[in-house]
Copies of this chain bind each other. A is one copy, B any other.
Amino acid sequence: MHAAVIHGPHDVRYEERPDPTILAPGDALIRVVAACVCGSDLWPYRGVRETKQPHPIGHELVGVVEEVGADVTVAQPGDFVIAPFSLSDGTCQACRAGMPSACDHVSFFGAPDPDKLPIDGAQGERVRMPLADGSLVVVPGPVDDALVPHLLTLSDVMSTGHHAAVSAGVGPGKTVVVVGDGAVGLSGVLAASRLGAERIIAMSRHESRAALAREFGATDVVAERGDDGIAAVRDVLGGDLADCALECVGTKESMEQALGVVRGGGHVGYVGVPAGGSELPIGKLFSRNITVGGGMAPARQYIPELLPDVLSGKIQPGKVFDLELPLSEIAEAYAAMDERRAIKVLVRP
Instruction: Mark A residues whose CB is within 8 Å of B.
Output: 93-94, 97-99, 101-103, 167, 240-241, 243, 263-267, 270, 273-274, 278-280, 282-283, 285-296, 298
B292 & A286 in contact (Cβ 8 Å cutoff)? no
Interface of A, helix, strand, loop or mixed by DSSP:
mixed
Could you jot down 28 A-B contacts, CB within 8 Å? A93-B263, A94-B264, A94-B265, A94-B289, A97-B263, A101-B264, A102-B263, A102-B264, A103-B264, A167-B291, A270-B286, A274-B283, A280-B282, A280-B285, A285-B292, A286-B294, A287-B296, A288-B295, A289-B293, A289-B294, A289-B296, A289-B298, A290-B295, A291-B292, A291-B294, A292-B292, A292-B293, A293-B293
Closest 7 CB pairs of A and B: A102-B264, A99-B265, A291-B293, A94-B264, A289-B295, A280-B280, A286-B295
Chain B residues with CB under 8 A of A290: 293, 295
The copy count of this chain in the complex is 2
Closest-CB distance, A62 to chain B (whole angstroms): 24
Could you say which of B101, B102, B265, B278 contacts A102, with CB atoms under 8 Å apart?
Answer: B265
Residue of B nearest to A99 (CB): B265
